[in-house]
Amino acid sequence: MPGLSTITASLLRTKPVEQLASEGEHTALRRSMGLIPLIALSVGATLGTGIFVVLGEAAPLAGPAVVVSFVVAALAALFSALSYAELASAVPVSGSAYSYTYATLGEIVAWVCGWCLLLEYGVSVAAVAVGWGAYLNEFLGSTIGWRIPDALASAPSDGGIVNLPAAVVVLIATGVLLQGVRESARVTTVTTMIKIAVLVFFVVVAVTAFNSSNLHPFAPAGISGISAAASMVFFSFIGFDAASTAGEEAKNPQRDLPRAIIISLGIVTLAYVLVALTAVGAVGVDNVSSSGASLSTVLEQVTGRGWPATILAAGAVVAIASVVLTVLYGQTRILVAMSRDGLMPKVLSRVGSKRVPTTNILIVGGAVAVLSALIPLGELVNATNIGTLVSFGLVNIGVLVLRRTKPDLPRSFRTLVPLVPVLGVGMCVWLLVHLPGVTWLAFTLWSAVGLVVYFGYGRRRSALSRAAGARAEVDS
């Protein structure tokens, strides 16, 4: 029977950075993504559901100061983004935070981080897909006067039979991913440009009705309201780390990954602040919240029912569809890394003729399509926030550890240590404290399931575990 120290050592064993780098250099995936596609990937995974949905939910909490809430959430994301940028330049492989924590904090921590990322990406993709159907119906209703029947646009528990639009958009994204990373990158770049243009259009139209009196009182609920709203709108920044999942498909990952992460966060933050400010300034907090977070409804109040609102609805359809595509991409690449390490079945890292993980994409796409078609996720979406904040906190800690254990490791980007990682951890903890209790309950249950899977499957099949066992046999 192994002793406690032996078991603890096996749980905290780290994957050598040199091994990670070697796997990245000899990857079977295709290196075809430059800086622009990587920026588009991050912006595409981030800019969408947050501003189209979360604004209306957060505005009643903070009042016009919801603009400050976006800035606070962006600041929390920024510290983590700088830490992501350093680790991405030092360990440019697929897997994002999972791979980084495996190299710095040990296998059990990496598993927890990867399991959190699966929650973040999987649940958010399904939630985004469900929201896409609602915006599609809004667009169809404003253009041709026909809407998809509720029976085919709602989950069974909501009185429908199946949410067909939600399943369809996931399957479309799955089909695009199967065509190859170059083709997926082209679609992502085009759709990202479209939704940026649509949000610029919204700002231009909404600012014509801007009334400074709508910003008073600015913070009716004070700091507590701003904090609560910041914890909620943090959902809007989930996805900026998507570029780090493309470490093995970037042409020059050491140079381009840090740039893509930081530039994309800047673009998204600017867009959110401008849209939130002009929306609240144009129609007031009550009207923003009563619109169900539909920016097209805000434009209807500004211009009346007409082409501006229709253009915004069309942009929402494109924006949310592109989020489905990019986040689905990120989840498949995290599973590639976990599978290659033996913590998930090997079939998930098998690369097909198009040099993409075909079986992985089909399994993930099919599972998310069924989930989004049959289950209204509701408050469970908040669980994506807690999973993301935990993984971000671990990345910040990983920077501190790697600086100490591998101080001479080549890094094309260096953040300010220890200030930035410590602030990053602090901001994550601060936002975690303000999440509701139901979110913590969902996260606890998800974590318990993850630990069962790890100890029942992953720990014994871990590549590091098998390598250690082989060495022990040789030594004996």
Give the DSSP letter string of 319-369: HHHHHHHHHHHHHHHHHHHHHHTTSS-GGGG---TTSS-HHHHHHHHHHHH
- Residue 48 to residue 365: CA distance in whole angstroms: 20
3-class DSSP assignment, residue 312 = helix
In order of start, what are the domains of the chain with their CATH numbers? 4-475 (1.20.1740.10)
First to last CA, the chain: 17
d(CA 400, CA 422): 9
Q: To 5 degrees, how large is the angle CA 305–CA 308–CA 309?
A: 55
Question: Rounded to whole angstroms, how far apart are CA atoms 119 and 48?
Answer: 19
Q: How many CA atoms lie within 13 A of 414 on its CB side?
A: 10
CB neighbours of residue 249 within 10 Å: 25
User: Cα dihedral sign for 359, 362, 367, 368?
Assistant: positive
Residue 467 three-state SS: helix
Tens-of-pLDDT digits for all 476 residues of the chain?
Answer: 455 555 566 667 888 877 776 766 656 667 777 888 888 888 877 887 667 767 777 888 899 999 999 999 888 888 888 898 888 888 877 667 888 899 888 899 999 888 888 877 777 777 778 777 777 887 888 788 888 888 888 778 777 888 899 899 999 999 989 988 777 778 878 888 888 888 899 999 999 999 999 999 999 989 999 988 888 888 778 777 777 776 667 788 778 888 888 898 899 999 999 999 999 999 888 887 654 446 777 888 888 767 887 888 788 788 788 888 888 888 888 898 899 889 999 999 888 878 889 999 999 999 889 888 887 655 555 667 788 888 889 999 999 999 998 888 888 888 999 999 999 999 889 888 877 787 888 888 888 999 999 999 988 888 888 776 666 566 65
Tell me the pTM: 0.79
The half-sphere exposure of 189 on its side-chain side, counting CA atoms within 13 A, is 13
Q: Are 237 and 73 in contact (CB under 8 A)?
A: yes
Cα–Cα distance for residue pair 390/439, rounded to 1 Å: 13
Asked whether 211 and 285 are in contact (CB, 8 A), the reply is no
Coil, strand or helix: which one is 47?
Answer: coil
Q: For 241, how many CA atoms within 13 A lie in the half-sphere containing its CB?
A: 33
CB atoms near residue 99 (< 10 Å):
33
Q: How far is CA 195 from CA 49, 51, 90, 192, 271, in A?
A: 11, 11, 32, 5, 11
Residues facing 153 on adjacent strands = 163
Q: Is 303 in contact with 116 (CB distance < 8 Å)? A: no
> From CA 389, how far away is CA 357, in angstroms rounded?
28
The span from the CA of 470 to the CA of 467, in Å, is 5
Given a contact cutoff of 8 angstroms between Cβ atoms, the answer to whether 154 and 146 are in contact is no
The predicted structure's pLDDT at residue 33:
78
Q: What is the pLDDT of residue 260?
A: 87
